[in-house]
Structure 1
Amino acid sequence: MDIKQYMNQLGRQARIASRLVAAADTGVKNRALLAIAAAVDAQREDILAANAKDLAAGEASGLDVALLDRLALNTAGIAGIIEGLTQVAALADPVGAITDLNYRPSGIQVGKMRVPLGVIGIIYESRPNVTVEAASLCLKSGNAAILRGGSEAIHSNQALAACIREGLKVAGLPEHAVQVLETTDRAAVGELITMPEFVDVVVPRGGKGLIERIARDATVTVIKHLDGICHVYIDDAADPVKALAIA
């Protein structure tokens, strides 16, 4: 696979799809979200089988228990994905919402209106449920998405991507409105974060090393977090020796 050519194709497709998603009304977007939920429900066995492949490959490659736990999907996890989609469908549509209207001295009324960003690239690790979470939030806010999950979840993510495409089709939205990378080649990330002509913003979700790399190399705008906010305080009744060990 020519990674540059592949990513440019995804980018062009996403840009075209983004214009159609941005113009979609609330009913169409909600119909897509509920259709994706129905597809996930109908494809439970296929999704779990794909996840089992990822888990087996992860165990064989020596993934630690914590990573395997984040990677795993079960019946409750599938139910959570479906519930998440229905919750996003029930949210108010942010597109077009107007706030902070004020009259200027000239008599002109000025305010803020929420509009879609365009194409959002999201890079994340391990948890396959993030694929659907990211897709649903981008759709609801009228954006197209290019999603790059962790290589350890490739089968799970592709199974979920099939459900997303099916839901988009049912609602009459372009299937390229949400594209999940089909390659585990890390060079694809390098292309994704350096395509400002196709991608409007990149959101990295993962460890510090991933986020530092994206922030350093991207030519696309990045929305990032780097270090978590982890506060420790010592109560009057605390054991200072134990508190020091915890810190």
Structure 2
Amino acid sequence: MTTDTLNPPITDTDALIADMGVRARTAAKRLAVATTTEKAAALRAAAQQLRGEAPAILAANAHDMDAGRANGLSAAMLDRLRLDTARLNGIADAVEAVAALPDPVGAEIDRSTRPNGIELARVRVPLGVIGIIYESRPNVTADAAALGLMSSNAVILRGGSEAIHSNRAIHAALVAGLAESGLPTDAIQLVPTQDRAAVGALLRAQGLIDIIIPRGGKGLVARVQDEARVPVLAHLDGICHTYIDGAADAEIAVALAVNAKMRRTGICGATETILIDRAYQGPRAIIDALITAGCEVRGDKAIAAVSPHVTLADASDWDSEYLDAIVSIAQVDGIDGALAHIDRHSSRHTDAIVTEDRVIAGRFLAEVDSAIVMHNASTQFADGGEFGLGAEIGIATGRLHARGPVALEGLTTYKWLVRGTGQVRP
């Protein structure tokens, strides 16, 4: 493939996005009345196409990986970009898992009867057309498409240039599954250019796109929030904390600290800062285990005094999303010190406590204002699949509409159904 065929010249990006939006809205109307059986069949067909096209998808990804190395992508970015047989099978499995989930569309949230006999009900309905702008992770193409389809939303996808070959190969497989099932292929569209002007056109597409979901670094999210003229469901950075309380089990503390940081360092649920209660007796074991696992440790003065292998942290470390084998560690004065540190530095994504004291755990769960708060579990579980949601379109860190892993329910809104028997208002 040549660069020109992959990134064809677009003279009018506003017209391109407008045309995609009109086609997406037509597709969304069809999806709004599609049955659960139809949508599930389309997703199963798409998953089968992903498996059948594995050689082509992996070859496309190898092209992206070569380009990424040549362009100096970081190890974390390359890890997000990389596909292999196991990861591609996992993507197909996630699509099938979404097909097996309860369909939220039409589900009744609540019902009541007014004193005058009017019956009220709230039922879930699709958002409509969703624009999704994301970087470097080709699995988002399939996850977003699957969640959009099962929640009866049409999606317009704009992936990053780092994954251009991978995204197009995955998109082609998904569209083939839609065509096989008889649902409109315009329900899943991929912006055919990497021209940055197309992003601006998406952000200005009022009346055609109902919501924008950015999934990427601070620069992308900041641009979307600054320029969007349609609602935004933001996925911010993951400055996640694990607090080791004085009453933590030592074996559990070491295992969770290492897993939370090192299982996959390039995901947003990776712990970036570990807080250790001054009353905890085993900080050296945690530090040594992290170093043995290949992690660079940056600590405050108290932690640096524990081990000669610790680099002294500076002020920026407490606000850093490393997405790498680096962790910052600070000693704090119990639960109050941990809560104060998290309040100052957390991105409100995921924060965890390790303790056997249920009273202390209860305080942490109640007082930490993050989308996900955990007790005695690795922050790496901050994932829609692990929450039983099949997949996720992102982890929302705000407070409106949806929070935490955004999956099927988060891609719906509701409408009121009012049923009367001829009542008139006095």
TM-score when scaled to structure 1? 0.95
Q: More relative contact order in 1 or in 2 (CA 8 Å, sep 6+)?
A: 1
Structure 1, residues 19-49: CA drift from partner, whole Å, max 9, x if none?
Answer: 1111111111011100000101110000000
Structure 1 residues 29-48: aligned runs within 5 Å: 29-48=39-58
Runs of 4+ in 1 over 4 A off after TM superposition: none
Could you say which residue in structure 1 is the equivalent of 2:280? 237
Could you say which residue in structure 2 is the equivalent of 1:137? 147
Partner Cα separation in structure 2 for residue 227 and residue 62 of structure 1: 22
* Closer/same/farther in 2, CA of residues 102 and 229 from structure 1, 3 Å limit: farther
Could you say which residue in structure 2 is the equivalent of 1:183? 193
Structure with the higher fraction of residues in helix conformation: 1
Report the 3-state secondary structure (helix = DSSP H, G, I; strand = E; otherwise coil) of the residue aligned with 1:246: strand
Partner Cα separation in structure 2 for residue 148 and residue 182 of structure 1: 8
> What's the RMSD between the two structures over aligned residues?
1.6
Report the 3-state secondary structure (helix = DSSP H, G, I; strand = E; otherwise coil) of the residue aligned with 2:208: coil
Structure 1 residues 41-120: aligned runs within 5 Å: 41-120=51-130
In the TM superposition, residue 203 of structure 1 has moved relative to its aligned partner by: 0.7
Report the 3-state secondary structure (helix = DSSP H, G, I; strand = E; otherwise coil) of the residue aligned with 1:157: helix
Identity, in percent, stands at 51
Partner Cα separation in structure 1 for residue 69 and residue 240 of structure 2: 31
Report the 3-state secondary structure (helix = DSSP H, G, I; strand = E; otherwise coil) of the residue aligned with 1:101: strand
Q: Which amino acid aligns with 2:303?
A: K
Report the 3-state secondary structure (helix = DSSP H, G, I; strand = E; otherwise coil) of the residue aligned with 1:28: helix
Bigger radius of gyration among the two: 2
Could you say which residue in structure 1 is the equivalent of 2:329? 246
Q: Which of residues 205, 222, 236 is equivalent to 1:226?
A: 236
Structure 1, residues 147-176: CA drift from partner, whole Å, max 9, x if none?
Answer: 111110000000001011101101111111
Structure with the higher fraction of residues in strand conformation: 2
Report the 3-state secondary structure (helix = DSSP H, G, I; strand = E; otherwise coil) of the residue aligned with 1:192: helix
TM-score when scaled to structure 2? 0.56
Structure 1 residues 143-182: aligned runs within 5 Å: 143-182=153-192
User: Is 45-54 or 203-212 further displaced after alignment?
Assistant: 203-212
Equivalent pair of 2:217/2:237 in contact (CA under 8 Å): no
Instruction: Verify: 1:13 aligned to 2:56, yes or no.
Output: no
Partner Cα separation in structure 2 for residue 206 and residue 11 of structure 1: 22
Q: Which amino acid aligns with 1:234?
A: I
Q: Which of residues 16, 23, 36 is equivalent to 1:26?
A: 36
Report the 3-state secondary structure (helix = DSSP H, G, I; strand = E; otherwise coil) of the residue aligned with 2:61: helix
In the TM superposition, residue 227 of structure 1 has moved relative to its aligned partner by: 5.0
Instruction: Verify: 1:217 aligned to 2:278, yes or no.
Output: no
Q: Which amino acid aligns with 2:329?
A: I
User: Is 224-233 or 144-153 further displaced after alignment?
Assistant: 224-233
User: Is 70-79 or 209-218 further displaced after alignment?
Assistant: 209-218
Structure 1, residues 75-116: CA drift from partner, whole Å, max 9, x if none?
Answer: 001110111011101001100000221222222222320001
Equivalent pair of 1:124/1:149 in contact (CA under 8 Å): yes
Report the 3-state secondary structure (helix = DSSP H, G, I; strand = E; otherwise coil) of the residue aligned with 1:11: helix
Partner Cα separation in structure 2 for residue 131 and residue 228 of structure 1: 21
Partner Cα separation in structure 2 for residue 174 and residue 123 of structure 1: 22
In the TM superposition, residue 229 of structure 1 has moved relative to its aligned partner by: 5.9
Equivalent pair of 1:212/1:226 in contact (CA under 8 Å): no
Equivalent pairs counted in the alignment come to 247
Equivalent pair of 1:103/1:110 in contact (CA under 8 Å): yes
Equivalent pair of 1:154/1:182 in contact (CA under 8 Å): no
In the TM superposition, residue 126 of structure 1 has moved relative to its aligned partner by: 0.9
